[in-house]
Amino acid sequence: MKRPARLAILGDIHGNLPALESVLADIDEQSPDAVFLLGDLINRCPWTHDVLDLLRQREWLSVQGNHDLILAQLNTPDGSDVFKNKSRFPNVHWTWQRLRPQDLSYLLHLPHDLLIEIEGAPPLRLFHGLPDNPFAGIVTNADEGTVASQVAVYDEPILICGHTHQPMDRTITVAHSTAHVSPSRKGQQRILNPGSVGMPYNGDPRAHYLLLDLVRENGRLDWQPRFQRLAYDFERVARTFHSSGLVESSGAIAKLNLRTIKDGQPWASDYQQWVRNQPHELRSNPEAAVELYLQTHGPSQWAFGG
């Protein structure tokens, strides 16, 4: 196998086909030698089959995101009791009802992480959220000690993760010595997050993904990241939310997801963070819960403090 000169990394598509198609068109122009996925391939947007079929046709390797795991285990003995609540998670059940047996098998058997090794280049470790938990992620403003402890299980010099839907390029100092890294970077790890294809949380609603070019610096090969951001047809997303029956089925939750996609703000996940601490009656009544949430939270006062 020839040494790749360029890789593409996509994360958190969440079933947003127009956003994915914009990324695919750019990828075809950029001609990477390989493409990898960071999970959360579907759920929250209506294009369940379309997205999964497109990704499988291209035979791109993916890690398993928390949404992939939830859907694969829903209505099985391994599934979490929390997500059985159709009133609280109507969009999850709407998506699950549209999954075929081959889709469920695919999602269930996605690996937790991937190790990418290219001869002479720093190895890359890909995972979705945290090394031991796809339901939590590395936040951009976390202190260095916290981040170092979160990723201590991995010693690769470059780690690439998703989940937070926010682009990140951060270098931390670690206690262990990473392998295959230049002497000037011993004791350091670079952590990259491409941001989200389908639902960014950084205030930029365009589709995000990451290109990595293998370059030679000071006589050694290293990966140089380039963050891509691409416009796409949001009105098509809004129309299909309604025509697919997703809004009719999921009501306020679907509308909150659509709002997230439109303005690139973390309404969807911030609401879920907020509602988990509310009384059971409110958790099971998304129409009332979302209305109350929107009265008290937003860009100037997120529930998770971001």
List b or e across 251-275, with b for residues whose CB sees 16 or more CB atoms inside 10 angstroms: ebbbbbbbebbeebbbbbbbbbebb
φ/ψ (deg, to 5) at 221? -80, 140
Q: Is 291 helix (H, G, I), strand (E, B) or coil?
A: helix
Residue 246's alpha-carbon distances to 24, 47, 85, 249, in angstroms, are 25, 10, 17, 5
How far apart, in whole angstroms, are the C-alpha atoms of residue 137 and residue 26?
27
pLDDT at 163: 98
pLDDT at 269: 96
pLDDT at 175: 72
Domains and CATH numbers, the chain: 6-230 (3.60.21.10), 235-296 (no CATH)
Residues of the chain with pLDDT under 70: 1-4, 176-186, 305-306
Helix (H) or strand (E) holding 240: helix 234-243
pLDDT at 200: 98
Q: Whole-model pTM?
A: 0.94
Instruction: Check: CB of residue 21 under 8 Å from CB of residue 27.
Output: no
**To the nearest whole number, what is the mean pLDDT of the chain?**
93
Q: Tokens 């609280």, residue?
A: 88
How far apart, in whole angstroms, are the C-alpha atoms of residue 168 and residue 160?
9
How far apart, in whole angstroms, are the C-alpha atoms of residue 287 and residue 290?
6
pLDDT at 174: 83
In terms of Cβ atoms closer than 10 Å to its own Cβ (0-12, 13-18, 19+), residue 138 is buried
Distance of CA 153 to the CA centre of its chain: 21
Neighbours of 97 (CB within 10 A): 11
How far apart, in whole angstroms, are the C-alpha atoms of residue 198 and residue 191?
21
Instruction: Check: CB of residue 95 under 8 Å from CB of residue 249.
Output: no
pLDDT at 217: 82
| Helices and strands: H and E segment counts in the chain | 11, 10
Q: Which of 217, 228, 154 is nearest to 190 (CA)?
A: 154
Angle at CA 85, nearest 5°, toward 83 and 87?
A: 125
State the Rg of the chain over Cα: 19
Helix (H) or strand (E) holding 104: helix 101-108
How far apart, in whole angstroms, are the C-alpha atoms of residue 18 and residue 205?
12
